[in-house]
Amino acid sequence: MAKRSYFLEITEVEKTWNTVWRSPSVVPKDIDSNWISGSAFCIGSGGSLSLAKLWEYFHESHNLGIAKSLTPYEFYHTISTPDIVVLFSASGKNHDILQVFKKAIAIGCRVLIFSMTHSSALVRLSESYPKQSYAVYPRVSTPKDGFLAVNSVIAISCLIAHFEKYLLGNNFEYESPVQLAIKHNSESPISTTNLSKIKTIQIISSEWGMPAGWDLESRLAESGVCSCFLTDPRNFGHGRFLWYEQWKDITLMINFYSKESESFITKFQRTLPADSQIYSIASPYSGVWGGIYCITRSIALFSDLAKQRLLDPGKPKVPQWGRKLHSLHYKNDEMEYKQKNINDQKQYAALHKEFSGIVLDYDGTLVDTKNRLDPIRKEIIMELKRLLELGLKIGIATGRGQSIIKALQNDIPSDFHHHILVGQHNGVTLSLLSEDAIILSENIWPLCALIKSIIIKIKPEKIKISEKPAHISIRKGTSAERTNFLNDILTSLGQYSQFMKYKVSGHSIDIFPIWASKLSVVVAIAESANTNILCIGDQGQIDGNDEELLSWDPSISVGKKRPFSNACLWLGKEKKYQESSGTLLILKNIHKNGPLFNLNQLTSLER
């Protein structure tokens, strides 16, 4: 473990912040607000746990999804599967965090990594999964950490601010939160009158002050400077005040909060006994900036407390048993076996659940990608007719527009048109196959005009664009050229990018309104059927155009790429069951069982 004076590290934090903040954006071009959206587990050990908490508040404050902070050990024992796992590790070599990464990849999560160096084991591991994970680290040199994380906490908190600036459009036209925090700490030093009598510190933290509370608790516990308790002001009011009443003469209360809770904290402090010893840290900022201000105040305040104890927490005496404890490994085989059983149960549920309807993707599912302009295979048409006659409800969800209605009307006998629901433009419109294609109003998606204006300015020659009122399709060129062009569009859109979504198929990248979803077809059928709906598609990977459809339970993928959802059975893992061949196999094995249908004759696929 590195040993540098903590008091030396404190003098470097402003330099660390300024260096990282002024460096070019670290946000990968392939990442947009959609990529980091969804339910999130934010994971860190020790001091990194405060950064996980900062991301949790950042994630939820921008309505990206529900977020939860966990330690690696908690993540080992959860059976929940989030959409994204956000990892924080300064060194990137801690075995706990490496195992978290491996499990997250195994269960199909997107993984975002914050670390301090591109050469760490964690970043190198991430490079093996370029489509599923991204690593973020400073592109500039920064001072090193000692025993306790100081400069890495400041640097990584700055990286989070980069995400808010470059991905979500917050320009941060304010004074540096680190510089201001150091200034305020020197102007309002903690009183040394009675600190020698203090035996315990009661930390009270609120909203954007919460990461700082976790930071200070970690520093106090890991250094042995002082015992402490951590809670929020309302939980403190549920009985914890009884301990405080008895020991308040040897207890220092430290409050971290920002503007959001200023009024309540004022009332909270007025309610405390008159002889309470209180030190309050109120951030002049809200949001991420406020969180970073409070964390910096925690780092500086801890320095003052350590000096009073005549301790340098950067140079601890680590006992041998502590080193052994730090090196304990979790049983990987037990963890992987448990997770494999959970995943198998989810994936093979499609083979055993009864259902009353199916929703199918079109390109790569009903027709092969390479033959997408050809008619649907006759064998598939025969199976669809058989199932419709038996009363199975059928929906088709596609990114195509008006052309899909004509193609399906030509392929499927007219007697069945009024029984098939079609969702065009990834579910923007719904209509029966017996109806004429819906012509969309030019005003249905206001953002479309802005995107088109950007495309006119920056479109490469090799790229072809298909434009419709609620659907922009990027075609031609290589996959990499299409992706790079999309990234340029997202960069130009800035904060407006959060109001659109994009989906990747084998031949194009399609841009839609944020509210477009193939699941609208599923919902429409499910409302009338009031039972399970089986979904079938091919592009279930991250950002694939069937990602949402194949997250439905039950669902089956006939695609060549592994689906993102652990609830989806990947039939296309075997080449002979890919695309229309896999769809035909599924349709042939759907049989009526009373009023419902099942796939039980496919159970031989389990292994």
Whether residue 420 is found in the same domain as residue 555: yes
Structure confidence at residue 334 (pLDDT):
43
Percentage, residues of the chain above pLDDT 70: 91
User: Structural domain of residue 504, as residue ranges?
Assistant: 447-513
In terms of Cα–Cα distance, which of 130, 121, 154, 125 is closest to 140? Answer: 154
548 and 594 assigned to the same domain: yes
Domain boundary among 464, 482, 513: 513
Q: Is 290 among the domain residues?
A: no
Q: What is the dihedral of CA 179, 184, 186, 188, to 10 degrees?
A: -170
Report the SS3 class of residue 574: coil
From 94, 136, 97, 146, select the one nearest 115 (Cα to Cα): 136
* Lowest mean pLDDT segment, chosen from 47-56, 172-181, 357-366, 512-521: 172-181
Q: Tens digit of pLDDT for each residue in 42-69?
A: 999 888 999 999 999 999 999 999 999 9
CA 237 vs. chain centroid, Å, equals 33
Average pLDDT, whole number, for the chain?
A: 86
Rounded distance between C-alpha atoms, residue 351 and residue 278, angstroms: 61
> pLDDT at position 603, please?
53
Per-residue pLDDT, 1: 43
- The CATH number that applies at residue 506 is 3.90.1070.10
pLDDT tens across 159-185, in order?
999 888 887 777 666 678 999 999 999
- The mean-pLDDT minimum among 246-255, 297-306, 492-501, 552-561 falls in 492-501
Residues 102, 411: Cα–Cα separation, whole Å: 46
Tens digit of pLDDT for each residue in 457-468?
888 888 998 888
Weakest mean pLDDT among 148-157, 220-229, 498-507, 569-578:
498-507
Contact 34, 339 (CB under 8 A): no
pLDDT at position 29, please? 78
Give CA separation, 310 vs 7, 196, 305, 410, in Å.
Answer: 12, 11, 9, 85
pLDDT at 399: 85
What percentage of residues in the chain have a pLDDT greater than 90? 44
Q: Is residue 452 part of a domain?
A: yes
pLDDT at 331: 55
Domain end among 482, 513, 544: 513
Mean pLDDT of 451-455: 89
Give dist(CA 605, CA 433) in Å, integer: 33
Amino acid at 366: L
Greatest mean pLDDT among 72-76, 116-120, 478-482 lies in 72-76
Domain boundary residue, one of 513, 540, 557: 513
Judgement on whether residues 536 and 586 belong to the same structural domain of the protein: yes
CATH code, domain with 530: 3.40.50.1000
**Cα distance between the two ends of the chain:** 46
Residues 350 and 432 in one domain: yes
Tokens 């159970």 belong to 603
| DSSP-derived 3-state class of residue 231 | strand
Note whether 366 and 484 are same-domain residues.
no
For residues 362 and 392, membership in a common domain is answered with yes
> CA 265 to CA 256: how far, in whole Å?
9
Nearest to 299 by CA among 289, 288, 310, 291: 291
| 427 and 548 share one domain | yes
- Structure-model confidence comparison of residues 432 and 336, the more confident one: 432
Number of domains in the chain: 2
pLDDT per residue as tens digits for the range 75-101:
988 888 899 999 999 988 877 888 899
Q: How large is the average pLDDT for residues 113-119?
A: 87
User: For residue range 202-214, what is the model confidence (pLDDT) as tens digits?
Assistant: 999 999 999 999 9
Average pLDDT of the segment spanning 515-523: 90
DSSP assignment of 14-81, as one string? HHHHHHHHTSPP-S-TT--TTTT-S-EEEEE-TTHHHHHHHHHHHHHHTTS--EEEE-HHHHHH----
> Between the CA atoms of 562, 566, 567 and 570, what dihedral angle is there, to the nearest 10 degrees?
20
Block residue for tokens 């997202």:
490
pLDDT reported for residue 197: 82
Q: Are residues 566 and 545 in the same domain?
A: yes
Q: Residue 390: what pLDDT?
A: 94
Q: Give the mean pLDDT of 356-365.
A: 94
Please indicate, yes or no, whether residues 358 and 432 belong to a single structural domain of this protein.
yes
Task: Answer yes or no: is 589 within a domain.
Answer: yes
Residues 493 and 592 in one domain: no
Residue 520 within a domain: yes
Please give the pLDDT value at position 338: 46
Q: Is 462 domain-assigned? A: yes
Tell me the pLDDT tens digit for each residue of 295-324.
999 999 999 888 888 888 877 777 788 777
507 domain-assigned: yes
Is residue 495 one of the residues assigned to a domain?
yes
- Helices and strands: H and E segment counts in the chain: 21, 22
Does residue 354 share a domain with residue 390?
Answer: yes
- The answer to whether residues 425 and 457 belong to one domain is no
pLDDT attached to residue 382: 94
- Flag whether 110 is in a domain: no
Instruction: Tell me which of 131-140, 420-429, 470-479, 525-534 is least confident.
Output: 525-534
29 φ/ψ angles, rounded to the nearest 5 degrees = -65, -25
Identity of the highest mean pLDDT range in 150-154, 438-442, 475-479: 150-154
